[in-house]
Structure formats: C-alpha cells, structure tokens
Amino acid sequence: EAGVAQSPRYKIIEKRQSVAFWCNPISGHATLYWYQQILGQGPKLLIQFQNNGVVDDSQLPKDRFSAERLKGVDSTLKIQPAKLEDSAVYLCASSLGWGLDEQFFGPGTRLTVL
Amino acid sequence: GQQLNQSPQSMFIQEGEDVSMNCTSSSIFNTWLWYKQDPGEGPVLLIALYKAGELTSNGRLTAQFGITRKDSFLNISASIPSDVGIYFCAGHLNSGYALNFGKGTSLLVTP
C-alpha cells in the first residue's frame, strides 16, 4: 500500500514570496492533517480535514496560511506571503477515520525562507 | 496546543544499553503515543496506549500509560545502531482530538 505522498521535498524562497505544498493521502483515508515542524520541536497541527470539510484550524495563521481539500482526496497548503519564521518542515498525515485513528505521516516538505 | 514535557532532550549511549525516556503534562490525556522520526522522514508510530495503567510492548520497546493520565514512559532494551533517531511522545487531550507532540528525545547509539 502506498504511503502519504508529498511534494516538493524541498523548497527555498525569499520572504514575502508565496509557496504551495501538495499532499496525496493514503487511498481511502478520510482524514487529512497538515503539521508544521520547526527544527528541534515536535510537529504542531495546523489544520485537519474530514473528507473536504475543516474539522480543526485553530492553530492555522489564517492571515497568511490557507489550505484546501476540494474533492476530499489530495490537499494543498499555501503560504502567502512567507516570513522567515515559516522555515520548517511541513508534514502531511492521513488516517482512515478521525478521532483516535492512527495517523500515517508523509516525508514532509522542508521549507527555507531567506 | 498543550505543552508536553519530554525528557531527556538527548541521549548518547553504547550499543546494548537500555534506554528510558518519559513525557509529562499538567493536563489529562486520554491517549499516549510514541513515535520515531528518522532524518528526512515523517514520524512513524511505535506504540499506542489507550488506558491508564496500560503497559504495552513492541519487540524491544515497552511503554506505559501513567495512572494519573498525565505521563508516559518509553523503554528500549538492548539498543542497536538502528535505534538512532528522534523519539516523540504525543497524545490526545481528554477534551479533543488534536494530537499534541512533545519536543522529542534525540537518541544516538554507538557500536
């Protein structure tokens, strides 16, 4: 079974530029998560989708971050405009259901903002 | 998110030694999970705990869900070089379903 796919794996941009990340969850997984992992810290949940609806986006900086999952399958996370402190690994995860179901993580996209 | 205090921050041990790490919180959790993250990869689930007092093993790994529901530990017995990585505790608060992570324990094992 294929795992969670993410692209690109690495991205370098200058501050104030825009960037987008893509995630394709495990087939059949209804719930999709985006996490931000700053160097030396654990992942922090940004947004959680159940199918194509948002379950939790309480920690998403909505003035610059946006995410969508239009058809309930793959998802994109966008940052516009980027700040230096957005440098981090952005991890996508998926689970079969929601709540306490096991989350499977993708390899992440490492973003560097100069 | 809820603060999880994970310790130690890093460990440097010799192959064959046992390892212990723990995680505490001021809040009650209804699950405790332990993940391992290798460089350039996402976290992988090692052990999941769902009941206070639960003790679960996965090969050389053993983890326990504290009785107070505010702490958990992970033990690794007879460490080997491939145990190298960052270990994270994580959990679901009683009040919601967001997964909260600790800051991680970096483990280095020398042959």
Write the CB contacts of A101 (distance below 8 Å, at least 6 apart in sequence): A31, A95
B residues 39-98 near A, CB within 8 Å? 40-45, 48, 50, 88, 90, 92, 96-98
Determine the distance in angstroms separating the CA of A100 from the nearest CA of chain B, rounded to an integer.
7
Residue B95 has pLDDT above 90, yes or no: no
pLDDT in tens, A65-104: 999 998 889 999 999 999 999 999 999 999 998 778 889 9
Chain B CB contacts of A43 under 8 Å are 43, 88, 101
Is the pLDDT assigned to residue B110 strictly greater than 80?
yes
pLDDT tens digits, residue range A5-43? 999 999 999 999 999 999 999 999 999 999 999 999 999
pLDDT of residue B96: 64
Q: Which chain A residues touch B48 with a CB distance below 8 Å?
A: 102
Confidence class for position A1, pLDDT limits 50, 70, 90: low
CA atoms within 13 A on the CB side of B31: 19
Residue A97: the pLDDT is 85
Residue B52, C-beta contacts closer than 8 angstroms, at least 6 positions apart: B65, B66, B67, B68, B69
CB-based contacts of B55, cutoff 8 Å, min separation 6: B62, B63, B64, B65
Burial A24-53 (b: 16+ CB within 10 A, else e): bbbeebbbbbbbbbeeeebbbbbbbbbeee
How far off is chain A from B46, nearest CA to CA, in Å? 11
